[in-house]
């Protein structure tokens, strides 16, 4: 991604692929992830090789992975969606409520309702941001509180318990197919679909263009508003899906479900190399970032890091990612200037 920009023609596609693989942020983060898993496994082999360890390694990140993919798409357009935690809480509680009020409702219908409600809430965000021309940070900070307020009003002190939901639904949260948990498969399918769209589809490339320079994108004739709204709808829909998944996995939902998870989603995207000012990064990176964040949280206690220090480690990781991002950007711009001066 760096050298190839300067001189794309001198390398074969295989060489380019190899150098991208070696120098990309995604592989750097993946390497850190592998190291974390390796360390934890050396310390306590059950981290990887026991049934529960293997399952948790794959299953635990699936909720954050869904949120991080949506968040990455929004951040790529130079926006941010802070309301995903509240959307998750709303759809998670809605999921429980649907099972309580309509005991015979099919699971598929509940999943679809969760996605649709999430998409609708995302649409509200998108409309406010795109039409109101207000920074997404402000709008979604507002809807973070509004949506959370709705959950508080609705749920109050009630909580959804495991006994309120059918076993068939709850087992989605734990069942595996060929020793890969169902929820992980779901998250990876979503990841591949979104990643493929961003990389190859015209609409996906336009999102990058908008994030790189919104004004230029507008002057070029791109439908900036429509694309931005679309990104928020996608992010909301994925948060809605994550809410349903949350209910299935944890089996209990209270009004404070998912509080603070929006920052983890932003953190995962940033760690995974999605530039916070838009225009660059991939959902693959965000997904690996989510995986790393969750896994590091699970591994630190096993490695022996005190509870209180674990959050600090995550903070260092985020700052490190941003510093790295900045260094790479400076280096890249210097190279580009050199290349221009030589020409």
Partner 1 sequence: MKFNKKRASALTALVASAALALSACGGSSDSGNGGGSGSDGKAVSVTFLPKNLGNPYFDTSDKGGKAAVEEFGGKFTEVGPQEASPDAQVPFINTAAQQGVGALVVSANDPKAIGDALNEARDAGTKVVTFDSDTDPQYRDLFINQASAEGIAKVQVKMIAEQIGDKGEIAILSAAANATNQNTWIDLMKKELAASHPDIKLVDTVYGNDDDQTSFDKTSALLQKYPNLKGIVSPTTVGIAAAARYVSDSDFKGKVKVTGLGTPNQMRDYVENGTVDAFALWNPEDLGFLAAYAAKALVDGDITGKEGDKFTAGKLGDYTVGKDGVVLLGDPFEFTKDNIGDFDF
Using CB under 8 A, list all residues that contact partner 1.
Answer: 44, 46-47, 50-53, 56, 60, 63, 152-153, 156-157, 159, 161-163, 174, 246, 249-259, 261, 294, 297-298, 301-302, 307-308
Q: Hey, is 315 helix, strand or coil?
A: helix
Q: Alpha-carbon distance 267 to 260, whole Å?
A: 11
CB of 301 to partner 1, least distance (A): 4
Q: Alpha-carbon distance 66 to 238, whole Å?
A: 6
Residue 79 or 83: the one with the smaller Cβ distance to partner 1 is 83
CB of 156 to partner 1, least distance (A): 5
CB of 251 to partner 1, least distance (A): 5
Q: Hey, is 253 helix, strand or coil?
A: strand
Beta bridge partners of 177: 180
Least Cα distance to 188 among 62, 70, 74, 64 occurs for: 62
Q: Alpha-carbon distance 237 to 222, whole Å?
A: 24
198, HSE (Cβ side, Cα atoms, 13 Å)? 29
For residue 291, what are its two tokens? 């995986």
CB of 330 to partner 1, least distance (A): 37
CB of 64 to partner 1, least distance (A): 9
CB of 191 to partner 1, least distance (A): 20
Least Cα distance to 243 among 113, 99, 69 occurs for: 113
Residue 2 or 44: the one with the smaller Cβ distance to partner 1 is 44
CB of 100 to partner 1, least distance (A): 12
**Cβ neighbourhood burial of 22 (10 Å; 0-12, 13-18, 19+):** exposed
Residue 242 or 275: the one with the smaller Cβ distance to partner 1 is 242
For residue 233, what are its two tokens? 């709808």
Q: Hey, is 180 helix, strand or coil?
A: strand
Buried b (16+ CB within 10 A) or exposed e, 308-333: eebeeebeebbeebeeebeebeeebe
Residue 247 or 271: the one with the smaller Cβ distance to partner 1 is 247
For residue 99, what are its two tokens? 């099972």
Residue 132 or 149: the one with the smaller Cβ distance to partner 1 is 149
Residue 118 or 273: the one with the smaller Cβ distance to partner 1 is 118
Residue 71 or 255: the one with the smaller Cβ distance to partner 1 is 255
CB of 178 to partner 1, least distance (A): 18
Residue 134 or 263: the one with the smaller Cβ distance to partner 1 is 263
**With the CA atoms of 78, 209, 292 and 16 taken in that order, what torsion angle do they form, in degrees rounded to the nearest 10?**
-160
């Amino acid at each position: 991604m760096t050298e190839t920009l300067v001189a794309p023609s001198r390398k074969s596609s295989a060489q380019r692929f190899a150098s991208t693989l070696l120098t990309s942020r995604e592989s750097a983060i993946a390497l850190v992830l592998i190291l974390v898993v390796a360390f934890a496994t050396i310390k306590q082999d059950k981290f990887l090789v026991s049934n529960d360890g293997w399952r948790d390694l794959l299953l635990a990140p699936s909720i954050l992975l869904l949120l991080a993919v949506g968040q990455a798409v929004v951040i790529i357009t130079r926006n941010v969606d802070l309301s995903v935690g509240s959307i998750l809480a709303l759809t998670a509680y809605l999921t429980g409520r649907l099972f309580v009020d309509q005991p015979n409702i099919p699971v598929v219908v509940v999943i679809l309702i969760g996605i649709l409600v999430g998409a609708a809430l995302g649409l509200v965000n998108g409309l406010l941001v795109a039409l109101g021309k207000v920074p997404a940070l402000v709008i979604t900070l507002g809807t973070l509180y509004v949506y959370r307020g709705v959950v508080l009003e609705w749920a109050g002190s009630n909580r959804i318990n495991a006994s309120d939901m059918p076993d068939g639904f709850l087992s989605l949260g734990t069942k595996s197919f060929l020793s890969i948990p169902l929820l992980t498969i779901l998250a990876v399918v979503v990841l591949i679909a979104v990643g493929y769209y961003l990389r190859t589809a015209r609409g996906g490339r336009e999102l990058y263009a908008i994030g790189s320079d919104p004004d230029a994108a507008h002057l070029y004739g791109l439908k900036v508003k429509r694309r931005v709204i679309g990104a928020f709808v996608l992010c909301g829909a994925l948060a809605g899906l994550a809410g349903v998944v949350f209910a299935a996995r944890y089996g209990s939902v209270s009004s404070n479900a998912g509080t603070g998870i929006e920052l983890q989603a932003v953190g995962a995207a940033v760690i995974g190399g999605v530039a916070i000012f838009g225009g660059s990064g991939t959902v693959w990176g965000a997904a690996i970032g989510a995986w790393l964040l969750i896994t590091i949280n699970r591994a630190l206690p096993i490695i022996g890091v005190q509870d209180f220090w674990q959050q600090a480690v995550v903070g260092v990781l985020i700052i490190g990612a941003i510093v790295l991002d900045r260094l790479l950007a400076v280096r890249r711009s210097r190279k580009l200037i050199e290349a221009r001066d030589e020409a």
